[in-house]
Amino acid sequence: MHTLRWQHVTGGCMAQIVNTPSYVKDVAASEGLMSQRRRRTIIAFLFILPALVNFTVFRYLPIIASFRTSLYQYSLLGGYGSFIGFQHYARLIHDPVFWKSLSVTTRFVIYKVPIQIVLSLGLAMLVQRETFGAGVVRSAILTPMVTSIIILSILWAMMYHSQLGLIQSILGIFGIPHLSILSNPNRALPAITVMMIWKDLGFSMIILLAGLKGIPGEYYDAALVDGANKWQAFIHITIPLLKPVLMFVIVTQTVFSFQVFVPVYQMTKGGPLDSTKAIVYYIYQQGFSYQDMGYASALAMVTLVLLLVISYFQMRFLRAEA
Amino acid sequence: MKKRRPLFLPVAALLFLAACGGAPAATNSPTTASGTTSQAAATSAETAPPAAMSAPAATMAAVTSAPAATMTEAATMAAAATTAAPAATSASAGGAPGAAVTINFITIDDPDLLLAQQAVAQAFSKSDPKYANVTINFQSVPFEQLFPKIESAVASGANIDMFLADAPDVKHYAYNKAIIPLQDYYTADELKQWTPGSVAEGSFKGVFYAPPSMESCSLMFYNKDMTDAAGLQPPAKVQGWTMQEALAAWKKTTLDKNGTGTPTQWGVRWGQGTYQGDYEAGIIRRSAGKKGSPTNMGIAPDGVTFHGYLDTPEAIKSFEDYRSWHRGATPVTPAEPINNIFFNKQSAFVVYPDNAIGTINRLYPNGDFHYGVTGIPYYADGTQLCHGGSWHFGVSPRTANKDISVAIAKFFGGPEGSRIWYSKVHQLPARYDLLASLPEYNKYPQQLFNEGLKTIEVPRIETPGYTEYQSIFGELMQSIVAEGTVDVPSLVKDAATKMEAALAKYKGWNQ
């Protein structure tokens, strides 16, 4: 044992215990493995440590601070006022604009995510084959993803403009008179949704494309031999094998879409008639325009909880399906 | 080798951590494009040798913020700033007089104002040898982001020395101690050099906080070619048309030359830019009331009550009129605003302060924009009025260079600074001495602004919650012109409720 411990200290190299009895070798081997495993764990931990520090300092601590702020009267310039407990949470229950903003956000997610997933899956299948021009198509679809959202919002607002917009000119070709889009409460949210689908299509397409490329071709060959047509292959092979990737895309896109802010801020300022007032814009408005950071924090906490619940059920549902 | 391995890992990890340490800080930089660049420039100026870096920092701010139309002039100024940099090289570091210092100044992203600020900043550096090495790093943001930017900068303790404050916001900053009082830096006689309205707007509870640059009064400009074509002759006096008369003129100048059902030339744009804020749009509702009436006051004397002031029958009627201009059977102004609509010769009239003259001169240096000025339209059974006040120079309580910042504020609002400012912006000066020295204010059209300032100017509503009010007011105006069915009275009453809720925290502020 003494020899063994000494060897462990010196590095636990198996070559140095060749002449020891077999039971000692086994123990030494297992301790060596443990040591290696521990070392690997430490290395892995050190690699994720910066991310952990980042998350702790810039994510988790602000969440805790935000929760604390939600229990106080607080404004950026005025600082902490009196402790009011859960009054902000009680207030939001009776706040019609909060419910409206929640409804707007939910509708935005419901409009956007399914359409985006279907379109991006279709596009991913279209460009997965290395045919002529596939690279160009892929790049074209990915371009909006890497373009600044603020610039895109400005450009799309110009395109939607009821008098000067490009879209109006296109409609004009077909004899359709100029439409108010962003100043119409029924059209403003769908207009933002269309822009955001176009913007985010590349992201979900590239993830799904990676998922599609990971499905072995043998499955399709076997299905072909068994007489399955393309639709059957898609339903019984592609979809089940793509489910983990689909789950990732759906969950991330739901979360991202729930946090829509920039296009609302840039294109409509939440209007007209609160028709595009998404929850994150409402939080911003309460915190920075209305000087009520305490209430804004309460709204942020509720949004966080909602997102956690939605993500949990989405993952559970999709895992069960898988 | 084996013994070194356990040591190697922690060292590598520490190095890795150290390498990653700077990344999160970068994510805290401002999100707007111009803000990011300017902030980056400011950071460089702080970390690199000050003399060498401060001038390029200012250069970046100027060039990034200025639109294409002003690039040449801005670039010239930037080049001048860069040329001046070597002089700073010999300066000693630290806060002593003569040292190289960078003053971070949050301002508005307006081409004319940026040019004026750069020019005054250069003059300040030359005004006294001890300021030769002072560089002012302007960080510009759009108007709507100015208040949040100042607020978050002060609250987070960011390295901000000064900011441009909209007149009605000074009270909010003072109420929240986000601006330092400058009362002790001015004598009573010095304060009398500005119009009383400007001093009042730069003060809070009788204490002076922020010197003004300009005064203002919006009147109605018109494109002479368009009015001539329509056979209109707007009166060349402050007391111009009533709303009814103006509406008839706007209708006459709204033309659909292509026959598409969408006008190619609009009658009017009421206000600057594309924002429907209180400065101009708020005049309409107040004009609907007789002088001294609740409608005309716009807010209760307590500075937090709006019911009975915003939603009076005559005020609601004015909001309905505003909607009809955009959405009526014969609209006279686009429901979705068009940027620079008047300057691009797409509308016949515009309600604007006299800095429009500076913009016209800049955009049409050959004088091929023929314009005239008439009084701001008013309700015949109400009051003619224009909102006064303009920009003030605030010093942040977070500044590490208080003396220099105060000196800059004094210079910018002083005789020389105001004169340079005026030469770029061409807006009513707040200083009497400057106003008296400008012959153009004794003849048409600028004479009307001078007269307007004396006869019809009123300050915007006085409340420390002006930003909250303006935010809700802007939303209200946006909703009023929405397409479809809109219940204007309900929207106005609802807005009054929201305003009171948002301002409830300021109850008793002026007692």
Q: Express each pLDDT in B165-221 by its tens digit.
A: 999 999 999 998 899 999 999 999 999 999 988 999 999 999 999 999 999 999 999
Q: Does residue B274 surpass a pLDDT of 80?
A: yes
- Across A182-191, B253-262, B336-345, least confident range: B253-262
Task: Using DSSP bridges, classify how beta strands B391-395 and B162-166 pair: parallel, antiparallel or unpaired.
Answer: antiparallel
Q: Which residues 459-498 in chain B show a CB within 8 A of chain A?
A: 465, 467-468, 471, 474-475, 478-479, 481-484, 486, 491
% of chain B exceeding 90 in pLDDT: 67
Rounded to whole angstroms, the Cα distance separating B245 from B242 reads 5
pLDDT of residue B93: 37
Rounded to whole angstroms, the Cα distance separating A261 from A278 reads 7
Q: Does residue B39 surpass a pLDDT of 50?
A: no
pLDDT of residue A270: 94
The H-or-E segment that residue A81 falls in is strand A79-83
% of chain B exceeding 70 in pLDDT: 81
pLDDT of residue A33: 59
Tens of pLDDT, residues A255-290? 999 999 999 999 999 989 999 999 999 999 999 888
Q: Which residues 418-437 in chain B show a CB within 8 A of chain A?
A: none
Q: Does residue B72 surpass a pLDDT of 70?
A: no
Q: Does residue B55 surpass a pLDDT of 60?
A: no
Radius of gyration of chain B (CA): 25
- In chain A, residues with a C-beta closer than 8 Å to the C-beta of B32 are 150
pLDDT of residue B261: 77
pLDDT of residue B56: 31
pLDDT of residue B301: 95
- Across A42-51, A125-134, B11-20, B468-477, least confident range: B11-20
Rounded to whole angstroms, the Cα distance separating A168 from A159 reads 8
Nearest chain B Cα distance for residue A213, angstroms: 33
pLDDT of residue B20: 37
pLDDT of residue A6: 40
**Cβ neighbourhood burial of B34 (10 Å; 0-12, 13-18, 19+):** buried
Q: Does residue A10 surpass a pLDDT of 50?
A: no
pLDDT of residue B24: 31
Nearest by CB: B261 against A53, A177, A180 = A177
pLDDT of residue A13: 41
Closest of A164, A242, A155 to residue A198, by C-alpha: A155
* 3-state secondary structure string across B179-197: CCCCHHHCCHHHHCCECHH
pLDDT of residue B434: 95
Partner-chain contact A289 B9, CB within 8 Å: no
% of chain A exceeding 90 in pLDDT: 65
* Helices B313-327 + B488-503 axis angle, to 10: 120
Confidence of residue B51 (pLDDT cuts 50, 70, 90): very low
Nearest by CB: A162 against B152, B178, B336 = B336
What's the DSSP call for residue B45?
H
The verdict on A78 touching B (C-beta cutoff 8 Å) is yes
Rounded to whole angstroms, the Cα distance separating B490 from B86 reads 63
pLDDT of residue B358: 86
The verdict on B260 touching A (C-beta cutoff 8 Å) is yes
Confidence of residue A124 (pLDDT cuts 50, 70, 90): very high
The H-or-E segment that residue B11 falls in is helix B5-20
Nearest by CB: B483 against A46, A148, A184 = A184
Mean pLDDT, rounded, of chain B: 82
Q: Does residue B113 surpass a pLDDT of 60?
A: yes
Residue A319 or B510, more confident: B510
Partner-chain contact B336 A290, CB within 8 Å: no
Q: What are the tokens at A28?
A: 């030494």
Classified as helix, coil or strand, B74 is helix
pLDDT of residue B30: 30
Q: Does residue B31 surpass a pLDDT of 50?
A: no
Q: Which of B109, B141, B483, B488 to mutate to test the interface with A (most CBs of A within 10 A)?
A: B483
**End-to-end CA gap in chain B:** 78
pLDDT of residue B426: 86
**End-to-end CA gap in chain A:** 50
For residue A160, the chain B residue with the least C-alpha distance is: B336
